């Protein structure tokens, strides 16, 4: 999403690095370009003005103009400014001291409320909080069915009462949660194509009835500045406690993510990063600021790795490398584990210094699928010992995987080369 902004800021700071001392005019020139870059990224005009004024006040100070590394000092100031703009720290959910925690998800139709209710429910389930999903969107066709399908997919029950009003459904769900012992109640509310009075009145009555601990506004970040206007309108009527930004993996300019907290004063609590039910992350302003400036995001990369890779299996893999018994079956398993972490291009951007390379290089995800298809077309014996792959076997594998014999040959050759490298590395393990 922030690729254009990252490229613009990267070019600005690259020019700074070639200079020695900075003058006030140099700083003014840089801030002018930063302002243009932010406006082109659809950041709110007032937010941009306040941001530039704050940065100027710090950047013109003696600690930058007299610094031995003025470029690095300015980059740090801009990064700190971006962190403050989006919120200085992550904002966790507030849970009830006793009884179930009520969480209302509100927003316009099409913003992704139903999907993100399920995503959040899965996150809470993994924390051991026994969530209950509540279908209160009685207007959109198949909305209840959609939530029930998602609930079955993640193993979370869905509460609904046919023919009842949304307010009554939400109230009954809270009673059910108290009786059964659910730790969290996630209420999926109805949306409209535009903000209207009946929608707001219904949401206000629902909030009065269940007194939610959290009212989370689900905002489609692809809508740009309109997302900020929607957030202001909902906050004025409902006093939202935070927002969930969806489609943060999209190709919009990212202005909503940088503006919404500054305009509403309410934190972004979660970010939707894909279509899968697992694609929901806590929103960390400092990590996103580092990614925008091309500094990588090692902490998120580590967390993704820990959530996917099992420590016991990792030790087994190290043992196989040491014994030089690593097979194509092991390689396939590792490949699938890496794919669970997300697109390879996104993973590269989390590694410091790799952001520019990832942007310029095209990571061919289809090549990974091709490799997976080739290995899956092999017999267990062939995966264990590729040396038995004669010409007829390779032709059969190529036909079975929908590839060419040359593709099979290339994979086997690359695997042989990687085994030779592992042999050298094993001496140091």
Q: Are 343 and 369 in contact (CB under 8 A)?
A: no
Clarify whether residues 144 and 285 are in a common domain. yes
Whether 115 and 241 map to the same domain: the answer is yes
Neighbours of 289 (CB within 10 A): 22
Question: What is the total count of domains within the chain?
Answer: 3
Distance of CA 370 to the CA centre of its chain: 26
- Whether residue 282 sits in one domain with residue 338: no
Mean pLDDT by 10 residues, the chain (429 residues): 67 69 76 84 84 82 58 77 82 90 92 92 93 93 92 95 93 94 94 82 94 92 76 90 81 68 86 85 81 58 55 66 75 75 60 49 68 91 90 93 92 82 61
Q: Given this model, what pLDDT does residue 133 score? A: 96
Predicted pLDDT at 314: 61
Q: How far apart are CA 388 and CA 390, in angstroms?
A: 6
Distance of CA 31 to the CA centre of its chain: 29
- Domain assignment of residue 95, yes or no: no
Enclosing domain of residue 254: 101-293
pLDDT of residue 5: 72
> Is the Cβ–Cβ distance between 227 and 117 less than 8 Å?
no
Cβ-in-10-Å burial (0-12, 13-18, 19+) of 202 comes to: middle
| Angle, helices 391-401/405-426, rounded to nearest 10 degrees | 110
What's the CATH number where 276 sits? Answer: 3.40.50.300
* pLDDT for the residue numbered 150: 95
**Any idea how long the chain is?**
429
Asked if residue 91 belongs to a domain, the reply is no
What pLDDT score was predicted for residue 98? 87
In this structure, are 313 and 225 located in the same domain?
no
Q: CATH number for the domain including 53? A: 1.20.120.140
What is the rounded CA–CA span in Å between residue 350 and residue 344?
10
CA dist., res. 254 & res. 251, Å (int) = 8
Tell me, yes or no, whether 256 and 107 share the same domain.
Answer: yes
Indicate the pTM of the whole model. Answer: 0.67
Would you say residue 256 lies in a domain? yes
Give pLDDT, residue 46.
85
Residues 115 and 135 reside in one and the same domain: yes
154 shares its domain with 200: yes
CATH number at residue 359: 1.10.260.30
- In the numeric block, which tokens belong to residue 139? 């207007």
What per-residue string of b and e applies to 332-357 under the rule 16 or more CB within 10 Å gives b?
A: beeeebbbebbbbebbbbbeeebbee
SS3 category, 215: strand
- Which residue, 154, 219, 147, is CA-closest to 187? 147
164 and 232 housed in the same domain: yes
The residue with tokens 């509460």 is 159
Residues 269 and 384 grouped into a single domain: no
Instruction: Tell which residue, 206, 224, 125, 122, has the closest CA to residue 168.
Output: 206
What are the distances in angstroms from CA 111 to CA 220, 240, 252? 5, 16, 15
Q: Are residues 181 and 282 in the same domain?
A: yes
Domain boundary among 37, 62, 86: 86
């Amino acid at each position: 999403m922030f690729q254009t902004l990252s490229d613009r800021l990267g070019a600005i700071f690259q020019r700074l690095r070639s200079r020695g001392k900075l003058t006030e005019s140099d700083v003014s020139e840089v801030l002018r370009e930063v302002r243009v870059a932010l406006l082109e990224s659809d950041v709110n005009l007032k937010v941009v003005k306040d941001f530039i004024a704050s940065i100027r006040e710090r950047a013109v100070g003696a600690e930058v103009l007299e610094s031995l590394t003025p470029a690095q000092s300015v980059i740090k100031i801009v990064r700190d400014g971006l962190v403050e703009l989006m919120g200085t720290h992550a904002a966790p959910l507030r849970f009830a001291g006793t009884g179930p925690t009520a969480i209302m998800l509100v927003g316009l139709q099409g913003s992704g409320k139903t999907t993100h209710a399920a995503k959040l429910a899965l996150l809470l389930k993994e924390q051991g909080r026994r969530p209950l999903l509540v279908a209160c969107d009685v207007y959109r066709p198949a909305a209840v069915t959609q939530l029930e399908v998602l609930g079955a997919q993640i193993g979370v029950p869905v509460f609904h009462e046919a023919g009842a009003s949304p307010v009554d459904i939400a109230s009954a769900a809270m009673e059910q949660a108290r009786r059964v012992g659910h730790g969290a109640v996630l209420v999926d509310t109805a949306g409209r194509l535009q903000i209207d009075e009946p929608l707001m009145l219904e949401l206000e009555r629902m909030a009065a009835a269940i007194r939610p601990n959290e009212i989370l506004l689900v905002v489609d970040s692809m809508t740009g500045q309109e997302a900020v206007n929607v957030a202001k309108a909902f906050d004025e009527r409902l006093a939202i406690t935070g927002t969930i930004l969806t489609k943060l993996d999209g190709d919009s300019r990212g202005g909503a993510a940088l503006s919404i907290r500054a305009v509403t004063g309410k934190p972004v609590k979660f970010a939707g990063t894909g279509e899968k039910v697992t694609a929901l992350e806590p929103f960390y302003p400092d990590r996103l600021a580092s990614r925008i400036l091309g500094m990588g995001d090692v902490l998120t990369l580590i967390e993704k790795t820990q959530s996917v890779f099992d420590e016991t299996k990792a030790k087994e893999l190290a043992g196989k490398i040491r014994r030089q018994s690593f097979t194509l079956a092991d390689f396939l398993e590792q490949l699938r584990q890496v794919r669970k972490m997300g697109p390879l291009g996104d993973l590269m951007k989390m590694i410091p210094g790799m952001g520019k390379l990832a942007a310029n290089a095209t990571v061919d995800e289809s090549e990974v699928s091709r490799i997976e298809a080739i290995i899956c077309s092999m017999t267990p014996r062939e995966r264990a010992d590729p040396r038995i792959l004669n010409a007829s076997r390779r032709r059969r594998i190529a036909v079975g995987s929908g590839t060419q014999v040359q593709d099979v040959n290339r994979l086997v050759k690359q695997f042989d080369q990687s085994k030779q490298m592992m042999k050298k590395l094993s001496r140091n393990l």
